[in-house]
């Protein structure tokens, strides 16, 4: 009887977990409970040293995996927020002639920052296969709506960037 392809990876993973569990159980069963055997002291010391090194390496790997997952999540959220603000700043186009240069500069800076984060995600191999697409942007029908929207976007962008700065400082710590 053939197993459907969709179930095969699940069964394979379950089998691997069962094998790992069996291997761990065997190790626990083999742990001596009685007095020390007649093994050479040098052998026992070398084995203890190797076990400590493996335990240390395992702990370091576990910390790195947790750290990498946090880093990946932070980068994805950072890129997503920058991408959102890129679109919101685009929607503010035409806010007023005297603010056009400042708005364009801000939009370019946010786009550059988002691109830098995206490239880092690609370097780490955690970037989605496709870049996100901009969802529906708000439309501002009047000059008042554009100005009010501009105040809100600028205020929220400032708060977002302060949070991003704190996260990046945290990630920069050794």
Q: Are 91 and 106 in contact (CB under 8 A)?
A: no
Reduced to 3 states (helix: H, G, I; strand: E, B; else coil), residue 64 is helix
Q: Kindly report the CATH number assigned to the domain that includes residue 82.
A: 1.20.1250.10
Count of structural domains, the chain: 1
Is 34 among the domain residues? no
Burial of residue 95, with CB atoms counted within 10 A of its CB: 0-12 exposed, 13-18 middle, 19 or more buried: buried
Is 31 among the domain residues? no
6 has a pLDDT exceeding 60? no
Is 26 among the domain residues? no
Band (88; pLDDT cuts 50, 70, 90): very high
Given CA atoms 76, 81, 82, 84 in this order, what sign does their dihedral have? positive
Measured between alpha carbons, how far is 103 from 88 in angstroms, rounded to an integer? 11
DSSP assigned state of 135: -
Identify the pLDDT of residue 3.
45
Is 30 among the domain residues? no
Reported as a single tens digit per residue, the pLDDT across 25-35 is 555 555 555 55
Measured between alpha carbons, how far is 89 from 161 in angstroms, rounded to an integer? 14
Measured between alpha carbons, how far is 132 from 111 in angstroms, rounded to an integer? 13
Q: Are 94 and 149 in contact (CB under 8 A)?
A: no
Q: Are 150 and 92 in contact (CB under 8 A)?
A: yes
Identify the pLDDT of residue 58.
82
- Whole-angstrom distance between the N-terminal and C-terminal Cα of the chain? 54
Q: Are 110 and 85 in contact (CB under 8 A)?
A: yes
Reduced to 3 states (helix: H, G, I; strand: E, B; else coil), residue 94 is coil
Identify the pLDDT of residue 106.
94
Encoding tokens for residue 23? 């291997």
Mean pLDDT of 34-59: 81
Q: What range defines the domain where residue 88 resides?
A: 45-172
């Amino acid at each position: 009887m053939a197993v459907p392809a969709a179930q095969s990876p699940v069964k394979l993973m379950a089998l691997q977990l069962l094998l790992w569990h069996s291997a761990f159980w065997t190790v626990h069963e083999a742990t001596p409970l009685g007095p020390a055997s007649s093994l050479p002291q040098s052998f026992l010391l070398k084995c203890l040293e190797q076990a400590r090194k493996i335990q240390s390496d395992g702990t370091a790997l576990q910390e790195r995996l947790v750290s990498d997952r946090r880093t990946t999540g932070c980068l994805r959220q950072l890129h997503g927020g920058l991408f959102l603000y890129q679109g919101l700043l685009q929607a503010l186009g035409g806010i007023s002639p005297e603010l056009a240069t400042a708005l364009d500069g801000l939009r370019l800076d946010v786009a550059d920052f988002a691109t830098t984060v995206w490239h880092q995600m690609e370097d780490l191999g955690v970037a989605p296969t496709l870049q996100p697409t901009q969802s529906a942007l708000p439309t501002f029908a009047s000059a008042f709506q554009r100005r009010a929207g501009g105040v809100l976007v600028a205020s929220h962008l400032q708060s977002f960037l302060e949070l991003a700065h704190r996260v990046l400082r945290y990630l920069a710590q050794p």
